[in-house]
Amino acid sequence: MQLPKIPDTPVVLQMLNWIFRPMAYMEECRQRYGDIFALKLQKNSPPLVFVNHPDDLEQILSHDTKELEAPGDLNDLFEGLLGKSSVITLSGTEHQRQRQLLMPPLHGERMRHYSQIIHDITAKVISQYPQGQSFNVRTISQEITLRVIMQAVFGLDEGVRAKKLQQLLGEILENGSSVWLITLLYFPALQRDFGPIKIWGRQGQLQEEADQLIYDEIQERREHPDASRTDILSLLMDAKDAAGQPMTDVELRDELITLLTAGHETTATAIAWAMYWIHKLPQVKEKLLQELDSLGDNPDPTTIYKLPYLSAVCVETLRIYPVGMLTFARRVKTPITVGGCELAPGTPIVGSIYLTHQREDLYPQPKQFKPERFLERQFSPYEYLPFGGGARRCIGLAFAQWEMKLAIAKILTMRELELVNNTEVKPQRRGLVTGPDHPIQMVIKSQRQIKSRSLETSTVG
Ligand code: HEM
């Protein structure tokens, strides 16, 4: 029986490589061991198997009920922040029930409703920056996505509670993206407050404050119901499961914090990368501006959403440096052969989205940013999978795609921007996802007058 190959280095070295240089390490392992390999990342758990061949991905992602399962207990790294009732940490029928409750407000149909929010908030945020001022593009994209998700989830943008919650979430996620916090997660023995390492305790304190604000908001809604509200919290408070039961306050809290955290950092990073590539490659920017300008004043959001070149730029952005490096882990239920290797029940297995997107046989010259590849051919859901697949496929996929396209279109039509310098930016770990290895500094050169003027005057507040 052939098993997936595992590096013969000590466990602690495998863990450190995985924490500090996950993408380079995966590439080295694929080169050395082939399309399927395993890493020993925790002392008392079985090695984690990595696959990246589209056939193997199809096998692991489309067999969620028979040979493989997608249990929430494999995501227990998230439990501290998201809670036990989050869709990410739940398993089986409970997981399916929560997905069914959460999907309708995030469905493609609802996106027209959120497009005005995305449009207005992007305009407000970008207008805060005067000509000549340089800024980290991630600061802007993060403010846009945090305010948009707050508005979509709670119907809140302005107001004391909204501002406080935005500030707390910003800080929680910034701390969570520290590689040291991830090290603490992999080395649980270090999870104490000692010496200068106060980050763990501070994180708990911030979370408690954020939780209190969320519970206050739920309480207020229960005391003063308002049937005209259309935000996700209101929809979830009205939702009932098959047995006619509404969600409890704890379930509501866990799902709201899940949407707020999963829904803003990821999309903020994707927008920041897109802005980097657009301004790094003049031919990409020129083509994109031509396409956007051809729409005239006040284009319909659906028309923007369907623009072929804008879509190709966004898709290529999530291919070259996918924000989520991996799918969530699946676990083998009955003996199964994947990629020529026998896997025993209990084996955890992940799809390496990063390695799949770097496959030379699918994407020639994979390190080059070429939106045209998506105009020239179609890719299967197992060749291109920035949002994962199967039972745990990202429920915010439509939301993220709309937000990326509308925010980028709005920024580019409002302002002429350029990169402050031409330094190459590479991806690195940011907590459990990835992001730029240093700030992408940009500067506003001028206002763009063409065609976007009437949009600006109507929305900048
Ligand atoms: C560019 C932005 C985003 C990227 C790249 C991304 C990527 C992913 C990936 C790779 C997964 C794991 C899928 C799997 O294991 O098969 C996932 C799951 C998830 N995403 Fe996203 N995501 C993004 C935006 C969002 C947004 C905007 C939301 C919510 C509004 C969201 C909510 C979730 C949730 C709740 C799950 C867990 C689903 C489950 O366990 O059933 N994501 N996402």
Quick one: pLDDT at residue 227? Answer: 85
Average pLDDT over residues 169-187: 69
* Confidence at residue 457, expressed as pLDDT on a 0 to 100 scale: 37
Give the residue numbers spanning the domain of 341. 11-459
CATH number, position 248:
1.10.630.10
Query: In this structure, are residues 350 and 48 in contact, taking their beta carbons and an 8 Å threshold?
Result: yes
Give, using CA atoms, the residue closest to atom 31 of ligand 1: 396
Does pLDDT of 456 surpass 60? Answer: no
Q: Is residue 82 part of a domain?
A: yes
Q: Is the pLDDT of residue 455 over 60?
A: no
Assess if residue 1 is contained within a domain: no
* 8 Å CB contact between 326 and 352: yes
Question: Which residue's CA lies nearest to atom 20 of ligand 1?
Answer: 394
Q: What is the pLDDT of residue 196?
A: 40
Nearest CA to ligand 1 atom 18: 394
So what's the pLDDT on residue 181? 60
Distance from the alpha carbon of residue 461 to the mean position of ligand 1, in angstroms: 31
Q: Among 122-131, 229-238, 275-284, which stretch is predicted with the lowest mean pLDDT?
A: 229-238
Residue of 394, 401, 403, 433 with the most ligand 1 atoms within 8 Å of its CB, for mutation = 394
193 confidence band (pLDDT: 50, 70, 90): very low
For residue 449, the CA-to-ligand 1 centroid distance in Å is 36
Residues 309-345: tens digit of each pLDDT: 999 999 999 999 999 999 999 999 999 999 999 999 9
User: For residue 234, is it within any domain?
Assistant: yes
Ligand 1 atom with the shortest distance to the CA of 145: 27
* Per-residue pLDDT, 406: 97
Closest residue CA from atom 42 of ligand 1: 396
pLDDT tens-digit map of 61-116: 987 667 899 989 888 778 878 889 999 999 998 999 889 888 888 887 788 889 99
In a domain, 5, yes or no: no
pLDDT digit string, tens, across residues 153-164: 888 767 888 889
Q: State the total domains in the chain.
A: 1
Q: Whose CA is nearest to atom 9 of ligand 1?
A: 387
Query: Would residue 6 count as lying in a domain?
Result: no
The pLDDT of residue 458: 36
Is a pLDDT exceeding 90 seen at residue 446?
no
pLDDT > 90? residue 239:
no
Ligand 1: centre distance to CA 88 (Å) = 9
- Protein residue closest via CA to atom 7 of ligand 1: 387
On the question of pLDDT at 180 being above 80, the answer is: no
Pocket, ligand 1, Cβ cutoff 6 A: 87-88, 99, 106, 258-259, 262-263, 266-267, 270, 318, 323-324, 327-328, 386-390, 392-396, 399-400
Let me know if residue 185 belongs to a domain.
yes
Looking at per-residue pLDDT, the higher value among 185 and 258 belongs to 258
Q: Where residue 195 falls among pLDDT bands split at 50, 70, 90?
A: very low
pLDDT confidence bin for 454, thresholds 50/70/90: very low
Q: Is the pLDDT of residue 184 over 80?
A: no
Name which residue leads in pLDDT, 34 or 177: 34
Substitution site in 325, 387, 406 for ligand 1 pocket (most atoms within 8 Å of beta carbon):
387
Question: Over the stretch 285-303, which tens digit does the pLDDT of each residue have?
Answer: 999 999 999 998 889 999 9
pLDDT at 373: 97
Residue 432 lies in a domain: yes
* Predicted confidence (pLDDT) per residue in 67-77, tens digit: 899 989 888 77
pLDDT band at 5 (very low <50, low <70, confident <90, very high): very high
pLDDT for 357-385, tens place per residue? 999 999 999 999 999 999 999 999 999 99
Average pLDDT of the chain?
88
Residue 3: inside a domain: no
Which H, E and C letters describe 299-360, residue by residue?
Answer: CCHHHHHCCHHHHHHHHHHHHHCCCCCECCCEEECCCEEECCEEECCCCEEEEEHHHHHCCC
Range of weakest confidence among 146-160, 307-321, 386-400: 146-160
Predicted pLDDT of residue 112: 83
**What pLDDT, on a 0 to 100 scale, did the predictor assign at position 369?**
98
pLDDT confidence of residue 451? 47
Q: Which ligand 1 atom minimizes the distance to the CA of 258?
A: 35
pLDDT of residue 183 exceeding 70, the answer is no
- Residue 452: pLDDT band (50, 70, 90) is very low
